[in-house]
Structure 1
Amino acid sequence: MCGITGIFDLNGRREFNRGLLEAMNQTQFHRGPDEGGIHLEPGVGLAHRRLSIIDLSGGRQPLFNEDETVVVTYNGEIYNFPELTGELKQAGHTFRTHCDTEVIVHAWEQWGEACVERFRGMFAFAVWDRNRETLFLARDRLGIKPLYYGQLPDGHLIFASELKALMAHPDLPRSIDPYAVEDYFAYGYVPEPRSIFKAVHKLSPGHTLTIKRGQAALPSPRQYWDVPFASVGNPSEADAAQELTERLREAVRIRLEAEVPLGSFLSGGVDSSAVVAMMAGLSDDPVQTCSIGFEDKAFDESDYAAQIARRYHTDHYMEQVDPDDFDLLDRLGQLYDEPYADSSALPTYRVCELARRKVVVALSGDGGDENLAGYRRYRHHLAEERLRGMLPSGLRRPLFGALARLYPKADWAPRMFRAKATFQALARDAVQGYFQGVSILRDELRGQLFSPDFRRELQGYDAVEVLRRHAQNAPTDHPLSLVQYLDMKTYLPGDILTKVDRASMAHSLEVRVPILDHKLVEWISGLSPQLKLQGTEGKYIFKKAMEPYLPEDVLYRKKRGFAVPVAQWFRGPLRERMREQVLGETMADTGLFDMDYLATLVAQHESGARDHSPALWALMMFDGFMQRMQS
């Protein structure tokens, strides 16, 4: 796993400052502490930081083809590189290394832009072809690896694995995108393709960007893949379970290639436990596993992880995290660059820290909830959809809208009495209703959060448009499949995979995600929705498939989140810090917020009248971002 950086002159062949490119590259040292490399020629600069995994003595980057007319800087793993190497050799290409990186330059020569359709893995890379005067940027299908790019006022294009590398360029405009701010306070992250800056974009998952020297304007990215949700037939439950097991085993198997110590995260949940079970069946040696525990049993799953470790005789390491492990708050901002409000980044950082003491590569169970309908919100959404279907929208919207306005908000009450959010959702269409369910600050809160001047700057823009845009392009209209698709386009890359990439790379740890193997994702998407969510049981067919491998209490117990007690922190040890950040000068000086309303949020939370911890955490993370911008 690595970090990539580059500069490209869109208009000519101006020389670049080597020191500047080195400085940009060095900001990503943590992504690749083993080696660094730079290639410069008129109008092109490519840089790389390497974490050596395969072909330790070779594979240095940037890496060239035989006549050095094609060069690549690359972050990721292409798991089918042995097969592609054989195919390309038969086509006449000469290889000088035994690493997956060299496959990319020859695949580009052989297949051009279509090369990405041959790759099975996680990747973000840039290829420069001197003969074609073309720069080619690509990102993997699910967005496991990141890629930022931006055009400078002088006609240069800069790109990198992390935003901090672009921010090292003195000419990068740092004007904040108001739409990104609205998106952030709705989702807790800035969804692709936006970034927090107007001048910078993320290359969306499953997209490429082809830029020819001398083009008048930067072209639009091209989509080369999407989650198909195309039927795979109607297999019996037994056949579907058997094939799912075989496909998961194969996805795990191809991810065990490494010349460095390799292991797995083991949380004690279904997904990571299934990955460990498959690894154990494929390895003669004990699997290295690691997990973290919490003093608060409401969050702790370490007993279940230990149970799986004993069953499969893994070499297991567990550490308990301090219940007040909030010393990382400042560190989080440095990792994520943009505002990022998922508090589970704290324990994720710790489990990556633990894993790196033992291994250089770790497999994870990420992606199971999106693929196989594991989130409780899917169940709630389907229930709301059934109710929506009982009344025409002309009657449903005014009826439930009125009920939502009249019904009091009751965060303190048992869930069955907290009907205000449900009434609000039922008054909306399916996409609006789902958006309301996933938002960290719902519409009425965001409406009061921002200052009048900033609301005018938004010009009526609403973050629900992110989901609407994806819904318009969705290959399915089934209520469950649609919201799975929306999560795969937003929450999965923007939150889950971002969290794991930055936390793992902070420790120079490579994380591989077999449940997000694109062939497995394609097949699962085509299964009947009833095999994924049956009654109240999410991941139904996955759990059935894993019954021979995992104990019942791991498979069928109530799901726990990888969460931290933020609400208690803000009424206890973090109370003063929260107040200082949320109500401080930095936030006031932005001009973005209604400071009186922020004071109301703080007071209501501190008194226990309302739980505003998601909103307050998001505000703290935004304040941290703004303070770094000013430093």
Structure 2
Amino acid sequence: MCGITGWVSFGEEPGGRPRVIERMTAALAPRGPDGSGTWVGPHAALGHRRLAVLDIEGGAQPMTASATGAPRASGSPTPDTVVLSYSGEVYNHHELRAELRSAGREFATRSDTEVVLRGYQEWGAGLAERLVGMYAFAVWDAGARRLLLVRDQMGVKPLYYARTPDGGLVFGSEPKSLFAHPDCVPRVDAQGLREAYGLVFGTGATLWAGVREVPPGGLVAFDRDGLTERLYWQLTARPHGDPDLAATTAGVRERLEHAVRSQLEADVPRCSLLSGGLDSTVVTALLADELRLREGPKARLRSYAVDYSDQAERFTGDVLRTGHDAPYAVEAGAFIGTEHQTVVLDPQALLDPGHRTAVVAARDSPIGVGDMDTSLYLLFGRIREHSTVAVSGEAADEVFGGYPWFHDPAALAAPTFPWLRVTSDEAAMPLHPELARELRIGEFQRDTYRAALAAVPHLDGESAAQHRQRELQHLSLTRWLRQLLHRKDRLSMARGLEVRVPYCDHRLVEYAFNAPWELHRHDGREKSLLRAVGAGLAPRSVLWRAKNHYPATHHPDYNRGLQRLAREALDAAGGRVRDLVDERVLAANLTTAPERLEWGHRLRLERVVDLALWLDLYRPEIAV
């Protein structure tokens, strides 16, 4: 994993201001604590921060090669130089390496980085369609004077770009690297606020005016003729090829085992995020089995869960959570045979201003989920003391239909994004009445929803029920999942930790998306296919446990401290917070008894606190 950035201009030469690419690269330092490099040549400058995971000695970047020369880090430019700045992991790099060798390509390292570089030399932009993994990379082709930006199929790894006033382009793993360029100013307009507070989770336009996100499965090319963008992969509807439940269960297991097997590879310590739910338990069990096959029967996988002080005594259920996670995680770890650790956090750590500021800086955004973000950030910090790579169960709910909206008749019938109704998230940031009138968030959500439904692929002959479930699967996989992946990437990379997500293997996603819905809930429950795969891999208590979201603290001391921070936030950032939020709505939440503050109302306060921190950190121009 790493951070990438760069600047291409056919007007001003980036080499004339070498400190610019150095600042852009330094902005991504947490993503790559193990090394830094830049490359500067005619029309282009690329930067890289490295988190060394594969081929520790041979994977330095930016990596360059000429048509005949061997790859090298930050080599001197030649007329046919190809330069790569790459983030992520390509899991099928061994197969691609063999194919490239048979085509006459030679290799100097064991890294997947070199496979991507040589793959571009062999196949050009067609390389993207051959890759399996999580990645975002930039290729500067000096001979063609063309920049290519590529992002993985599911959008696990982030990649942003913006145009400069002279017609050039800057790009980076996070917007902060773009803002390190003096010609790229943090500015937010009305459309950006709609994207942020509408909670529709699109790709393309962002919170930041002029900053765009390369779409998942997307490819952006930039040269003297301008910029073009296309998708090299997207979800499609096709007939399911397997005849029955047994064959489909086997099909899921085969694809999931292959994904887990390929994602265990690393030259650094690995571990698993084990929450005590079905998703993480199945992945952890498959990882542990594979590790024992490779390293012997005594090999033990580390696993981690997060918990809060007094959670067992104070837990109260809400719309997202039905039970206390930690005991299930301990039971699952014992069943699988992991070296399990529960990281217990207290309210003061979650309220610490330094931690909260670090989280907002990591996300480049005021839109988060408060203590759940801070706890994840702290958990990743503890994990990084022992491991560099962690494997997570992210995306199983989207792939296998785990959310309430897949099964609740009211949510199925609602003419809106299902998460807005189920989680009441549309009320989680009360905007100032004048701003709300200007933004017309409800109208924006309705228009976006109609456009999102129009993009859903269907098969002829689908029943009304099948048609609707296909819509909800597509919305969940292409929108809701994106904000979860953003959260996981930003908070893990802020601690120099790589998190891998086997359920995001696009081949598994394609297969499950086209499995008939009646198989997805053949036992009358959510995630029936995954539960069938998990038989024997998880204890029965976990196998049949109801869906539970990431845990939140229920400690009244946290609520009390949050109310204090929210009051301070209203007076922070030169009073700019008051120009954006509706104090009348917040007033009741600020005075509610801490032990009675509901999670949804608390989220309003969380976002007010984060808004104040964000305004202070970025000092954005807000033009509405």
Q: TM-score range by the shorter chain?
A: 0.7 to 0.9
Q: Which residue of 2 aligns with 1:410?
A: none
Structure 1 residues 593 and 575, CA gap change in structure 2 (3 angstroms):
closer
Match of residue 609 from structure 2: 620
How far apart, CA to CA, are the structure 2 residues paired with 1:41 and 1:204? 28
Alignment match, 1:296: 311
Q: Is the 8 A contact 1:586 1:623 kept in 2?
A: no
CA distance in 2: counterparts of 1:588 and 1:288, whole angstroms: 45
Q: Distance in 2 between matches of 1:126 and 1:199?
A: 19
Give the aligned partner of residue 27 of structure 1.
27
1:518 aligns with 2:506: yes
Give 2:208's match in structure 1, choosing from 189, 197, 200.
Answer: 197
In 2, are the aligned partners of 1:10 and 1:157 still within 8 Å (CA)? no
Provide the rounded CA distance (Å) in 1 between the counterparts of 2:453 and 2:10: 34
For residues 184-583 of structure 1, what are the structure 2 equivalents within 5 Å?
184-187=196-199, 191-212=202-223, 214-215=224-225, 217-219=226-228, 221-284=229-292, 285-294=299-308, 295-297=310-312, 298=315, 300-324=324-348, 325-327=350-352, 328-343=355-370, 344-380=372-408, 382-385=409-412, 388=413, 425=414, 429=415, 431=416, 435-437=420-422, 440-442=425-427, 449-452=431-434, 455-456=437-438, 462-476=444-458, 478-493=467-482, 495-534=483-522, 537-565=525-553, 568=556, 571-582=559-570
Could you tell me how far 1:46 is from its partner in structure 2? 0.3
- Conservation of the 8 A alpha-carbon contact between 2:201 and 2:480: no
2:107 paired residue number = 95
1:505 to partner: Cα distance: 0.9
Q: Equivalents in 1 of 2:442, 2:575: separation in Å?
A: 22
Q: Distance in 1 between matches of 2:551 and 2:535?
A: 27
Deviation at 1:186, TM superposition (A): 3.2
Name structure 1 gaps, 5 residues minimum: 389-424
**What amino acid maps onto 2:134 in structure 1?**
M
Would you say the 8 A contact 1:434–1:483 is kept in 2? no
Paired position in structure 1 for 2:121: 109
**Candidates 85, 89, 95, aligned match of 2:97:** 85
The CA deviation at 1:5 is 0.8
Q: In the aligned structure 1, how far is the partner of 2:270 from the partner of 2:435? A: 52
Shift in alpha-carbon separation, 1:496–1:599, aligned structure 2, 3 A: same
Give the paired residue count: 580
CA displacement, residues 375-430 of structure 1 (integer Å, 9 cap, x when unaligned): 123222x4544xx5xxxxxxxxxxxxxxxxxxxxxxxxxxxxxxxxxxxx4xxx3x
Shift in Å at residue 541 of structure 1? Answer: 1.3
Deviation (angstroms), 1:2: 0.5
TM superposition shift of 1:56: 1.1
1:530-562 per-position Cα deviation (integer Å, ceiling 9, x unaligned):
222357511011102211211111011222221
Q: In the aligned structure 1, how far is the partner of 2:145 from the partner of 2:549? A: 49
Classify 1:201/1:569 alpha carbon distance in 2 versus 1 (closer, same or farther; 3 Å): farther
Counterpart secondary structure, 1:527: coil
Determine the C-alpha separation between the residues in 2 that align with 1:433 and 1:492: 13
Instruction: State the Cα distance separating 1:196 from its structure 2 match.
Output: 1.7
Shift of 1:438: 5.2
Give secondary structure in 1 for the equivalent of 2:444. Answer: coil
Deviations 1:155-189 (A, max 9, x none): 231111111111222221322032221232232x8
**Secondary structure in 1 matching 2:85:** strand
Equivalent position of 1:148 in the other structure: 160
The secondary structure found in structure 2 opposite 1:183 is helix
Change (3 A) 1:286 1:92: same
* Structure 2 SS opposite 1:60: coil
Distance 2:574 2:549 in 1: 32
Q: 1:354 to 1:467 in 2, by over 3 A?
A: farther
Structure 1 window deviating more from structure 2 (261-270 vs 460-469): it is: 460-469
| Deviation (angstroms), 1:242 | 2.4
Task: Give secondary structure in 1 for the equivalent of 2:425.
Answer: coil
Structure 2 counterpart of 1:406: none
Residues in 1 aligned to 2:541 and 2:514: alpha-carbon distance in whole angstroms: 28
Cα gap change, 1:438 to 1:484, in 2 (>3 Å): farther
Is the Cα contact below 8 Å between 1:183 and 1:463 reproduced in 2?
A: no
Residue type of the partner of 2:257? R
Q: Aligned residue for 1:411?
A: none
Post-superposition offset of 1:192: 2.1
Q: Give 3-state SS (helix, strand or coil) of 1:449's partner.
A: coil
Distance 2:555 2:336 in 1: 37
Tell me by how many angstroms 1:521 deviates.
0.9
Q: 1:144 to 1:111 in 2, by over 3 A?
A: same
The 1:66–1:439 alpha-carbon spacing in structure 2 relative to 1, beyond 3 Å, is farther
Alignment of 1:5 onto 2:5: yes
Residues 609 and 300 from structure 1, CA distance in 2 versus in 1: closer, same or farther, beyond 3 angstroms? Answer: closer
Q: Which runs of 5+ in 2 are unaligned?
A: 68-79, 293-298, 316-322, 459-465
Deviating more after overlay: 171-180 vs 531-540 = 531-540
Structure-1-length-normalised TM-score = 0.86
Aligned pairs (5 A) from 1:44-83: 44-67=44-67, 69-83=81-95
2:198–2:445: 8 Å Cα contact kept in structure 1? yes
Residues 118 and 590 of structure 1: CA distance in aligned 2, closer, same or farther (over 3 Å) = farther
The structural deviation recorded for 1:450 is 3.2
1:370–1:488 CA contact under 8 A, matched in 2: yes
Asked if structure 2 preserves the Cα contact closer than 8 Å seen for 1:230 and 1:525, the reply is no
- Tell me how far apart the structure 1 counterparts of residues 302 and 364 of structure 2 sit (CA, whole Å): 31
Q: 1:433 to 1:289 in 2, by over 3 A?
A: closer
On the 8 A contact 1:547/1:555 being kept in 2, the answer is yes
1:349-375 deviation digits (Å, cap 9, x = unpaired): 232122212211111111100000111
Q: Give the direction of change, closer, same or farther, for the CA distance of 1:620–1:547 in structure 2 (3 Å limit).
A: same
How far off is 1:99 after superposition? 0.8
The residue that corresponds to 1:420 in the other structure is none
The whole-number CA distance in structure 1 between the counterparts of 2:530 and 2:328 is 18
Cα deviations across residues 130-154 of structure 1 (Å, max 9, x unaligned)? 1111100011011110111111223
Contact preservation (8 Å) 1:195, 1:338: no
Cross-structure match for 2:189:
177
Contact 1:570 1:578 survives alignment (8 Å):
no
Structure 1 residues 265, 557: closer, same or farther in 2, change over 3 A? same
Counterpart of 2:140 in structure 1 is 128
Equivalents in 2 of 1:60, 1:370: separation in Å? 35
Shift of 1:231: 2.8
Q: Percent identity?
A: 30
Report the TM-score when normalising by structure 2: 0.87
Contact 2:577 2:611 (C-alpha < 8 Å) held by counterparts? no
Q: Is the 8 A contact 2:201 2:479 kept in 1?
A: no
Closer, same or farther in 2 for the Cα pair 1:64/1:437, shift >3 Å? same
Q: Deviations over 1:11-45 (max 9, x none)?
A: 46453422121111112111111111110012100
In 2, the alpha carbon distance for the partners of 1:171 and 1:383 equals 49
**Amino acid paired to 1:379:** H
Question: Which stretch of structure 1 is more off in the superposition, 591-600 or 22-31?
Answer: 591-600
- Report the AA paired with residue 546 of structure 1: G
Matches of 1:497 and 1:14, distance apart in 2: 32
Cα distance 1:203–1:605, how it changes in 2: closer, same or farther (>3 A)? Answer: farther
Q: Which residue number in structure 2 is paired with residue 399 of structure 1?
A: none
Which residue of structure 1 lines up, in the alignment, with residue 73 of structure 2? none
CA distance in 1, matches of 2:582, 2:515: 47
Q: Secondary structure at the match of 1:247?
A: helix
- Partners of 1:607 and 1:289 in 2: how far apart? 32
